[in-house]
Amino acid sequence: MTNFLSRWHKSIEDKIVDSTMMVDEVEFCSPLVYKPIIGVEMVTKYLIAANDVLNNPNFRYISEFTDQNKACLVFETKLDDIEVTGIDLIEWNDEEKMVKLSVFIRPFSALTKVGEHMSMKLNAMS
């Protein structure tokens, strides 16, 4: 496991979002937003909300595929009795900083539920 992935897993385990792990112009492709979210401040806000919504006692990574500075992390969790399966597709640079995160969620009922919770969380943060 790379140093970046070790830090990523530790941040998930500790339920924190570490903005120092991101480049200033980090790109986040959310399954809920049409255009990518750009910039460490906005991406941090979205990841804090996602961490609060998805990283519950049921959250676990079930599979991991890596290739140099990229990783595909498959996760499962439960939200309001709905099973959620997703992928965190992460790219980082040679300085071990995340440059892009794309998240995919299925099934549609899970994506809808995540969207409801994310909306509430982001509105509460504003």
pLDDT digits (tens, 9 = 90+) for 44-98: 999 999 999 999 999 999 999 999 999 999 999 999 999 999 999 999 999 999 9
Look at residue 111 in the predicted model and tell me its pLDDT: 97
DSSP 3-state of 79: strand
pLDDT tens, residue by residue, 12-41: 999 999 999 999 999 999 999 999 999 999
CATH topology of domain 3-118: Nuclear Transport Factor 2; Chain: A, (3.10.450)
pLDDT confidence of 1, banded at 50, 70, 90? Answer: low
This prediction's pTM: 0.94
The domains of the chain are located at 3-118
Distances (CA, A) of 116 to 43, 66, 85, 122: 18, 31, 16, 10
